[in-house]
Amino acid sequence: MNCIDIIGIVKDKIDDFYRKFEYDVPFEFKDQNEAHVIVVRYWTEQGNNRLIMLPDNTRVAIHGHLDNTKEFGTILLVEQLEVIK
C-alpha cells in the first residue's frame, strides 16, 4: 500500500464526497504556471464530512493514500486531516 503526507489548499467542491486539492511541487519548470491539483475524498462513506465542509482555500495537512476511481482516475483518499493556521 502507498502512503502520502502532503500539505496544500482545499479548493472547489465537486459533490458531497469529492473536492479539489491544490499542492506545491518542489521543482517547477520556468514556463509552467498551472496549479497542481488532485481530487480528494475523505475515507468515510458519509457525505458532507469534515473535508467537504471546510471553506475553500483552507490550508491543510493530509495523511492518506492514492486510490483509483472510474470517474476521476487517481485520487487521494484522506485518512487524517489537520487544518493549518
* DSSP structural state of residue 56: T
Candidate from 5-19, 21-35, 37-51 with smallest mean pLDDT = 21-35
Give me the domain span that covers residue 27.
Answer: 4-83
Question: Is the per-residue pLDDT at 33 higher than 80?
Answer: no
Cβ atoms of 50 and 81 closer than 8 Å: yes
Question: Is the per-residue pLDDT at 81 higher than 90?
Answer: yes
Query: Mean of the pLDDT values across residues 54-83?
Result: 97
For the chain, the domain total comes to: 1
Q: CATH number of the domain at 35, please.
A: 2.40.50.140
Q: How far apart are CA 5 and CA 47, in angstroms?
A: 23
Rounded to 5 degrees, what are φ and ψ at 52? -70, -35
Nearest in space to 35 (alpha carbons), one of 61, 17, 62, 8:
8
Question: Is the per-residue pLDDT at 24 higher than 90?
Answer: no
